[in-house]
Amino acid sequence: MLLLISAIAPSMALLYYIYLRDKYEREPRRLLTKAFLSGSIAVVPIVLVELRLNLFDLETDSLLTAGYTAFIVAGLVEEGFKFLIFWLFIWRNRNFNESYDGIVYSAFISLGFATTENIGYVMLSGYHAAFIRALTAVPAHALFGVVMGYYFGVAKFKEDNMGKRYILYALMIPILLHGIYDFILFSKSPVLLMAFIPYMLYLWRRGLIYVDRLSDQPAHSFRNYKNKR
């Protein structure tokens, strides 16, 4: 039981922080639960797709293999599924009526995935994995979600052409950030591994800036937004 709690606790702490930063109108718990569970369930199709795409052996120490696995197998597939969940369940939902809501829902989706993934790793590898992943993989997924949600939140209240551009950013930039994260680890290069901690600090800084930027904005009325279009 303690091992399971150690696997879940980091996600719950991050979700609580993201939720509390919603200053104007808290999101309905039912929809938040749906977002979280959708991310959790997405682990199954994601793993199935990744197994089909995983064509190379990372033990070869090839940077090309590391790049393919990081950006395509992991980054594209995992962030692509998170994007799809947001698009299907959140984008047109009437409760998505503030820019910061994009961050909230995207973080819940992303941490739903991260929680299920983390349970698997921790139950197999124990407290050491729980400690390491609490500082790395789980926050990384949360921060990828924050970035995706930021661009969705901005896109929601932009004119058509600019909105479409930010929707594309909501997909491509998390894939890029996720790919870089995994590439550093998969490369096994001492030089690249030296960049891992600075890169994590960069992700934290970027994520917190985005949270501050949107959570401090006045509430947008979805009704007023629709009337302006």
Convert 148-196 into a string of H (helix), E (strand) and C (coil): HHHHHHHHHCCCHHHHHHHHHHHHHHHHHHHHHHHHHHHHCCHHHHCCH
Extract the tokens encoding 120: 């698997």
Asked if residue 14 is part of any domain, the answer here is: no
> How many domains are contained in the chain?
1
Asked if residue 192 is part of any domain, the answer here is: yes
Radius of gyration of the chain (CA): 18
Asked if residue 11 is part of any domain, the answer here is: no
* Sign of the alpha-carbon dihedral angle for 95, 98, 102, 107: negative
pTM of the model: 0.91
When pLDDT is averaged across residues 54-73 and rounded to a whole number, the result is 87
Extract the tokens encoding 171: 């997909």
Range of the domain at 132: 28-228
Degrees, nearest 5: CA angle 29-31-32: 60
Does residue 225 have a pLDDT over 50? no
Asked if residue 10 is part of any domain, the answer here is: no
User: Binning pLDDT at 50, 70 and 90, where does residue 229 land?
Assistant: very low
Asked if residue 2 is part of any domain, the answer here is: no
